[in-house]
Amino acid sequence: MSAVVVGGGLAGAAAALALAEAGAEVVQVAAAPGATALSAGVVDVASASPGIATLPWRDALRGSPLLPRERLALHRRGAPSHPYAQLFGAGDDPALPEREIETGMARLARWLEPGGLALGGSLGANRLLATVAGTLRVADFAVAPAARGDLLEAQDVAVIDAPALEGWDARALARTLAHEIDALGLAKLPVSVVHPAFPPGLFADPSPVRVAARLDASGARAALATGVSALGARGRVLLFPPCLGIERSAELVHALETASGARVAEALSFPPHAVAGFRFQRALDAAVERAGVRRVRERVRRVLAVDVDALSLVLGDGGERLAADAVVLAVGRFVSGGVEAGRDAVNEPLLGLPLYDADGRRIDGIPARRSARKGYGNEQPLFSAGVRTDRRLRPLASNGRPQHARLFAAGDLLGGFDPARERTGLGVALVSGLRGARAALESLRAPQARAEGMP
Amino acid sequence: MTRWLRARVLVIGGGINGTGIARDLALRGVDVLLVERRELGSGTSWASSGMIHGGLRYLQKDPQVTEHSCIDSGAIQRIAPHLVFRIPFLMPVFSDDPLGPELVEIGLEMYDRYVSLKNGHPHTRLTRAQALALEPALSDAIECAFTLDEWGVDAARLCAANALDAADRGAHVLTHTEVVELLRDATGRVTGARLRDRIRGDETFVEAELVMNATGPWVPQLAALAGEEVRLRPGKGIHLVFERRVSNIAIYARGVDGRDMFTFPHEQNSMAGTTDDDYYGDLDRIDVTEDEVAYVLQAMERSIPSIQQHRVLHAISGVRPTLFGFGAYEDELSRDYEIVDHGAFGAAPGLYSMTGGKLAAYRLMAEDAANRLCAVLGVDAPCRTAELPLPGGEAPADLLALAKRFRIAPPAVARLGFRHGARARSVLEAGEDAHARGRRVVCACEPVLDAELRHVARAEGLRKLNDCTLRVRLGVGACQGAACAASAAGVLAEELGWDAPRTVREVAELAASRWRAVAPVLSGAQVGAMELHRHVNFGMLGLTEEILP
């Protein structure tokens, strides 16, 4: 019995890893890295305030910052179209979401650990991370080294000046950061700019990802450690640009912390310098490789139902076929091609699944521009749309019934929420990827599609 | 605090007409104050095709428009060679076109008589095979094709260059400042204006001997402040902007209604347009409709069948201040211009309004307007705008040498040189600090260097991040500012002393204005780009509804 996972981001990797651990024969098909590679490596599980795209930290100004656990609980009263509504149900087990998220995070941490990438965070505490622009971002979970920069734990912040580096302006960052800290009324947290001695030639190519790769070398690591040794202080966070190594990031951070005595963290970064996302994606890929999952670097053109228990994927330009007893679709939305905006219509290209926005309206079959509303800050149906599923994450066809008994969906492809505004994209990806794998396993172990009368 | 200023002439409107007039007057030694409600060139000038073409279209009805445009196009090439680029055109002829190749060629022969005025090559006739070899994207249903030669220009930069030169000669230039009230004396004479700075909120009173209303489509609204009526036939036009090039040659296309349109290479992109429809909506929010987009693409598809596969980045829309005419189709209205003396033809002496006209003939129009004003003022200095170079047009810059010296990628220096001409060197020199921060690429789509942003903030009076879309074309490429808005805002904050909330607001404003430009044409890969745009702005930078305009 073989399961095929389509998609290479966090949802796909989680599904593939979970299936492999359960002993299934797994194939992961992905033509390119997932949108996870463009992320900041922050895995938020509960939206800022469900339905309201405002920073939870604004609540702090009113004296009540909500913890991730409390924000998660609000989801139960939130939008019925949110993937969590299907994943966690309405009320039968109030402890389920927390339990499932904590287990999921523990599994993710375990998968990432051999690659040296640590995952930090908990449902019981907010962490406050700085972005490269100096704005503050509340994070539930995050991968290191960004995760190490929790400002709630810091006594002062020293921003690393690296004037030659692209996309990094320590002075501007520090200015904005100081203001944000002040505006949130946090305890006094001084922000300064510090000037380390960089190894010569480090910025010969000033792109952060190149600098990060150069810092994987042990010579450069040692030289940078020497260069920051005088900058540390107890309780200080040394805030680095997103360039702290790619493969050997943990060793680099350890060396820098040992030399300086400060906590070493990266500012949260975004494209075109999403080094943390790139690192995260690489670590996921490595974990999938380690688990013995066969990886196929092809684009899936179509997914066909062979019969009630079997599916077939049409791959690449040659139209090669790949047979599957179960399929987990973790193909994302527009950036990763899981949803396409064609000339005349938005569509889900693999099966033509209907796409629903957060209000339950279909947006497939009409041009993208017609779903675009005026006002950047308004709710945008186009960006909350995806497939709708049953409780077992099986995408629904337009007749409201599952498209196929052994076809499952996970990650951003799930509609009903706006990952950009709620910021829960990676959290939903992890939980739904694991859940999709579980549902796929169940379907493989107890083939009862026929009995259920599914198509 | 209210301040008082005095000028001999108050010019209202920072588009090509207003900046052209301000420069002309300043060069004659007249004390000028130029006031613009938003950013220089942000209205009709920006929404134009950005061409200083002769207007083959106007040859039949308005030959003087063609002639003026051609003469003036030649002058603009002399005074601002850095801002101008050649656009070769292909005009395909289809068998079902109303005019056959012979009649088309007669028109082109007439046009050839003017093209030497603007340093253009005369037309040539190509066989079907020759045309397809030259531009394989052309429809193979063509019968034959003609070539002709036109010139493109960065219209927003041209406005800025005129305003900068005026300022260099002593003019006051106030952007983001609106006229709240026209001041009158007891006889009804317009004696100045009360201005409000739209960013700071403070007011300024300006006393002026003469007031020139050069506000384009806003001319009637402004004139109404003096109780004067000016009638326009405002014509809305849109352009679609494509990612990189559809073709390196401009290609004529025919609309379903028979109108001429074209797709043309323009700076880093291709553009397609334009439409022409009566417009009576809000001039500050000129929405692009699905009908207009479909109409343009449909026309282009006949000439370039593959056009639908090209990625549309965003749309540009604006309103022409066309002279009023009743009973004519929009396209057939005269492109000529008029200068109204509200003293001679109204009850507001001291106030003048300029309507109609073409970008290509802006300098001549400005000269005419300045002549009229100078006659009233008793100034007899001659117009010098056709001989004196605009800022940057003084001498050619050795861009490759600059690229080498500052170790910047030549394409980035080429764009800097395009916008700043001979001043590119001083822009780079001023950007040098101990860490060579000025050499950093801030916006990779265009590209825009850190040093250029600092320059426009320090030396060009730039006041808002969003204005960088016009001034240096930041944020108008594939990512629509997702990648560069925060860094650019950081640079401007340092230069202009913005505090953190202001900096974040500037980013929010840019994001929102890009969405307005993209949403009407949202399709294909651009949807993914905007998905990412939202992730960066909401998810990372933490923009919220409270901050967004």
**Pair type for strands B351-356 and B203-213:** parallel
Note the pLDDT of residue A63. 55
Strand A326-329 versus strand A2-6 pairing type: parallel
How far is Cα B294 from Cα B405, in angstroms, rounded to an integer? 48
B124-129 own/partner pairs: CB under 8 Å, 24+ apart? B125/B101, B126/B90
Tokens of A169: 């302006």
How far out from the chain centre does Cα A383 lie? Answer: 16
Q: How many whole angstroms from its chain centre is CA B178?
A: 20
* Separation of alpha carbons B132 and A404, rounded Å: 49
Q: What is the residue extent of each domain of chain B? A: 3-44+156-230+335-377, 83-149+233-332, 399-540
**Residue A284 region by backbone torsions, left for phi larger than 0, else alpha for psi between -120 and 50, else beta:** alpha
Q: Taking the mean position of all CA atoms in its chain, how far away is CA A75? A: 19
* pLDDT value at residue A67: 86
Q: What CATH superfamily is the domain A2-39+280-452?
A: FAD/NAD(P)-binding domain (3.50.50.60)
Q: Region A220-238: what's the mean pLDDT?
A: 94
Cα B302 from Cα B272, distance rounded (Å)? 13
Q: What does the alpha-carbon distance between residue A304 and residue A379 come to, in Å, rounded to a whole number? A: 34
Spatial contact of B135 and B93, defined as CB atoms under 8 Å apart? no
A345 has a chain B CB within 8 A of its CB: no
Is pLDDT of A55 > 60? no
Q: Can you say whether the dihedral through the CA atoms of A67, A73, A79, A82 is positive or negative?
A: positive
Give the rounded percent of residues in chain A with a pLDDT score beyond 70.
93
> b/e map of B355-373 (b: 16 or more CB within 10 Å)?
bbbbbbbbbbbbbbbbebb
Between B192 and A46, the higher pLDDT residue: B192
B382 pLDDT band, cuts 50/70/90, is very high
Domain ranges of chain A: 2-39+280-452, 42-273
Residue count of chain B, please give it: 549
Residue A281: phi and psi, rounded to 5, are -60, -45
B52, B266 Cβ separation under 8 angstroms: no
pLDDT category of residue B325 using cuts at 50, 70 and 90: confident
* CB B131 within 8 Å of CB B146: no
Nearest CA in chain A to B502: A176
B522 and A372 within 8 Å at the Cβ level: the answer is yes
Task: Tell me B383's DSSP state.
Answer: P
Residues 1-60 of A with CB under 8 A from B: 38-40, 53-55, 58
Beta-carbon separation of B515 and A382 below 8 A: no
pTM comes to 0.95
Check pLDDT > 50 for residue B478.
yes
Question: Domain B3-44+156-230+335-377's class?
Answer: alpha beta
Measured distance CA(A14)–CA(A33) in Å, rounded: 14
Do residue A369 and residue B521 have CB atoms under 8 angstroms apart? yes
Phi-psi region of A328 (alpha: psi -120 to 50; beta: other; left: phi over 0): beta
Alpha helices in B124-240 (DSSP H): 128-134, 155-168, 219-224
pLDDT tens per residue across span B123-151:
999 999 999 999 999 999 999 999 999 99
How far is B172 from B30, CA to CA, in rounded Å? 11
Question: Each residue of B16-31: pLDDT tens digit?
Answer: 999 999 999 999 999 9
List all residues of chain B from 437 to 466 with a beta carbon under 8 Å from chain A: 437, 440-441, 444
The answer to whether B195 touches B203, Cβ cutoff 8 Å, is yes
pLDDT in tens, B488-543: 999 999 999 999 889 989 999 999 999 999 999 999 999 999 999 999 998 888 77
Nearest by CB to residue A40, choosing from B444, B540, B543, is: B540
The pLDDT tens digits for A349-378 are 999 999 999 999 999 999 999 999 989 988
CA-to-CA distance for B20 and B365, rounded, in angstroms?
A: 8
Alpha-carbon separation of residue B223 from A102, B10, B64, B368, B533 (angstroms): 68, 14, 27, 20, 41
pLDDT digits (tens, 9 = 90+) for A382-432: 999 999 999 999 999 999 999 999 999 999 999 999 999 888 889 999 999
Q: What is the pLDDT of residues A303-357, one digit of tens each?
A: 999 998 999 999 999 999 999 999 999 999 999 999 999 988 999 999 999 999 9
- Asked whether the predicted pLDDT for residue A62 surpasses 60, the reply is no
Answer whether residue A46 shows pLDDT above 90.
Answer: no
Please state, as a whole number, how many other Cβ atoms lie within 10 Å of the Cβ of residue B228. Answer: 21
Say what the pLDDT of residue A451 is: 45
Classified as helix, coil or strand, A344 is coil
DSSP letter, residue B400: H
Q: Provide the pLDDT for residue A59.
A: 52
Task: Report CB contact under 8 Å: A368, B500.
Answer: no
**With a CB-CB cutoff of 8 Å, which residues 325-344 of chain A face chain B?**
333-337, 341-343
Q: Which of residues 469-508 of B touch A (CB under 8 A)?
A: 479, 482-483, 486-487, 489-491, 493-494, 499-501, 503-504, 507
Q: Which range has the worst mean pLDDT, A65-79, A234-248, B300-314, B318-332?
A: A65-79
Average pLDDT over residues B311-316: 97
B49-103: pLDDT as tens digits: 999 876 777 777 778 878 888 888 889 999 999 999 999 999 999 998 888 899 9
Provide φ and ψ at B234, rounded to 5°: -60, 130
CATH fold group of domain B83-149+233-332: D-Amino Acid Oxidase; Chain A, domain 2 (3.30.9)
Q: How many residues are given for chain A?
A: 455
Q: Which residues sit opposite B173 in a β-bridge?
A: B34
Taking CB atoms and an 8 Å limit, are A169 and B479 in contact across chains?
no
Q: Work out the angle between the directed axes of helices B155-168 and B16-27 (0-180°, nearest 10).
A: 30
The rounded mean pLDDT for chain A is 91
Residue A53 binned pLDDT confidence (cut-offs 50, 70, 90)? very low
How many Cβ atoms sit within 10 Å of the Cβ of residue A60?
18
* A235-239, B69-73, B207-211, B387-391: range with lowest mean pLDDT: B69-73
Asked if B542 lies within 8 A of A137 by C-beta distance, the reply is yes
Query: Beta strands of A8-83 (E only): which ranges?
Result: 25-29, 42-43
d(C-alpha A345, C-alpha A222), whole Å: 54
Largest CA distance in chain B: 72
Higher-confidence position of A205 and B32: B32
The pLDDT tens digits for A109-168 are 999 999 999 999 999 998 899 999 998 888 899 999 999 999 989 999 999 999 889 889
| Phi/psi at A100 (5° precision) | -70, -40
Strand order across the beta sheet in which A25-29 lies: A294-296, A25-29, A2-6, A326-329, A407-409
In this predicted structure, what is the pLDDT of residue B370?
98
Residues A249/A214, Cβ–Cβ less than 8 Å: no
Interface probe with B: pick from A273, A357, A376, A412, most Cβ of B within 10 Å: A376
Q: Is the pLDDT of residue A50 over 60?
A: no
> Rounded to 5 degrees, what are φ and ψ at A189?
-140, 95
Interface subset of B 292-351, CB within 8 angstroms of A: 293, 308-309
Helix, coil or strand: residue A164: coil
Q: How far is CA A309 from the centre of its chain?
A: 31
The pLDDT value recorded for residue B154 is: 97
- Reference B200, options B174, B224, B218; nearest CA is B174
Interface test with A, best of B289, B531, B543, B544 (most A CBs within 10 A): B531
* Distance, CA of B203 to CA of B194 (rounded, Å): 7
Residues of chain B found within 8 Å of residue A173, distances taken between Cβ atoms: 490
